Structure 1
């Protein structure tokens, strides 16, 4: 597993970093938007909902970054991160 990054070319390493940090940011921001929309529907104040979502976002961002650095299949996993971020954002806009 540790040798996977050492064998990657510069394009693949750039994709890993872009998907880790950029995709992770997109995933976390869409998660916060979705939770910020959903929790007020069940009675939580909007400010508290957003604060809770921001605190929970760390539990998503760090594992996504670690996943993208350590995965042996960065293209597939990076596309999964980006697709999940897009789906969450569409869901947040639909609510």
Structure 2
């Protein structure tokens, strides 16, 4: 290349080629960024869903181990719920009766 501030025809072609190559790299990098972003969101969604199911199983298992919930009668089950939990249980039980 010529570093004296003068440009020749060959220098312009090299610069033009570099610019066109950069544009192609930008388009492909945008596509790869989109796919990477989508893949990342899918992986995070699957991880969150798995963690939710594991948490649900864990809490259910803790409750069962603490109270032997499956071996209790219906009245005893309702009595084991505390404050808001018992209120919601009775509310949804009434809703289920009407539906």
Shorter-chain TM-score: what band?
0.3 to 0.5
TM-score normalised by L of structure 1: 0.32
The structure with the largest alpha-carbon Rg is: 2
Higher relative contact order structure (alpha carbons within 8 Å, sequence separation ≥ 6): 1
Q: TM-score, normalised by structure 2?
A: 0.31
